[in-house]
Copies of this chain bind each other. A is one copy, B any other.
Amino acid sequence: MGDPKPTIADVARAAGVSKGLVSFVFNDRPGVAPQTRARIREAAAAIGWRPSLSARSLSTRTSFALGLVVRRDPRVIAADPFFPAFIAGVEMGLTGEGRILVLSVVPDADTELRTYRRLVADSRVDGVFLTDLRYDDRRLALLAELGLPAVMIGHPDRSSAFPVVNLDDAHGVRQSVAHLVGLGHSRIAYVAGEPQMVHGRRRRDSFVDAMTGAGLHPDRVVDTDFSAAAGAAETHRLLDAASPPTAIVYASDPMAIAGMGVVHQRGLRVPADISITGFDGTDLARHVYPSLTTVVADPAAWGREAARTLLQLIAVAEAPNLELPAAELLVGASTGPPSHADRTPYPAHYKETPCVDAL
């Protein structure tokens, strides 16, 4: 009954050894006779002892926790499809027992940095995930200074000592452009995400590259904050232009869906009048009408591998960079050839992008 919870001393006594030896055994240290080892394990199992995490934390200065600090506008966070899936993936990577995830959502840069400082000051985490990397990201210097292990989700703008787990999202953007060009579009707009975010700008850059590579002018590129509201507003602006686009590539599914709403609201048809593509491959994108052509990434896998990498980094002080399968275009019904008048003069020499089927 209400036994006051066994301690390592109880196990030691039961096995007839010293506390230290019990500790050795449970930390897989060499220098313990096999039979003694077995006897200790047996005694521990019989008593039902498990080492106290708090005590271990105190003497080893380890928290057995991983941290994720998310800096996002509260308005945007609710719609973002990335983090929940990413976190679910992290959980998978933590399966090996013992480690948990500490999550913090902060509104601005100062709070973000303060949060990291607190996390290490209180040694609440053994390492962190760096998501939404920005240009001149102050976190990189801070974490290096604090000596906190970290793994970067996506490539940073500069080289850094932290390992990278990357998922080539630019590939999906290039495929989107190729797909649209193949359909005969030439006036293609891009509604980008936050330009301060490395991945936001990289996707935009790859759009620009793909366009120029196709001999097209990448004008009609606008930045947003990833929100549905911004997506809608920019869509209005694009359509108000003297020579509106015949296709719009959005940097996220929520923006694309909001953009589609604007197009419909204006009495235009998708894809007859305007083709639309998104980014994320959300479940919802498959169920709007017309179903969204979008780029599917696998944020859960990203989280899982990031967790594994971080655990390895913490364990052996180094971990290799990891490249995940690239984001792929999933062609839906929201893209089609432009109306005849808008066709490119020469039939597209781009071959149709292969369609990745949904599961």
Contact = CB atoms under 8 A, between A and B. Distances in A.
A76 B264 CA distance: 27
Interface in A252-297: 254, 257-258, 260-265, 282-284, 286-291
A234 to B, nearest CB: 12
Interface in A71-89: 74-75, 77-81, 83-85, 87-88
A326 interface: no
A231 B80 CA distance: 20
A260 B254 CA distance: 15
B282 A53 contact: no
Which of A77, A260, A262, A291 is the most central at the interface, judged by chain B CB atoms within 10 Å of its CB? Answer: A77
A61 interface: yes
Contacts of A260: 288-289
Contact of A54 (B54, B103, B284, B290): B54
A282 B257 CA distance: 13
Interface stretch (A14-22, A120-128, A134-142, A197-205): A120-128
Contacts of A123: 53-54
Nearest to A253: B284
Contacts of A312: none
A265 B283 contact: no
A103 B87 contact: yes
A43 interface: no
Contacts of A291: 261
A101 B104 contact: yes
A100 B104 contact: yes
B91 A105 contact: yes
Contacts of A313: none
A310 interface: no
Interface in A88-115: 88, 91, 100-106
Interface in A211-236: 227-229, 231-232
A287 B78 contact: no
A336 to B, nearest CB: 15
A58 interface: yes
A311 B160 CA distance: 39
A339 interface: no
A23 interface: no
A102 B102 contact: yes
A91 B104 contact: yes
The 5 nearest A-B residue pairs measured at CB: A258-B287, A261-B289, A264-B289, A53-B122, A103-B103
30 contacts: A52-B58, A54-B58, A54-B63, A54-B123, A74-B88, A77-B84, A77-B85, A78-B88, A78-B283, A79-B81, A83-B84, A84-B105, A91-B106, A100-B102, A100-B119, A100-B124, A101-B102, A102-B102, A227-B283, A229-B287, A254-B283, A254-B284, A257-B257, A257-B287, A258-B284, A258-B287, A258-B288, A261-B291, A262-B289, A265-B289
Interface of A: 50, 52-55, 57-58, 61, 63, 65, 74-75, 77-81, 83-85, 87-88, 91, 100-106, 119, 121-124, 227-229, 231-232, 254, 257-258, 260-265, 282-284, 286-291, 299-300
Given A102-B102, A257-B287, 5 more contacts: A77-B88, A101-B102, A102-B103, A265-B289, A288-B288
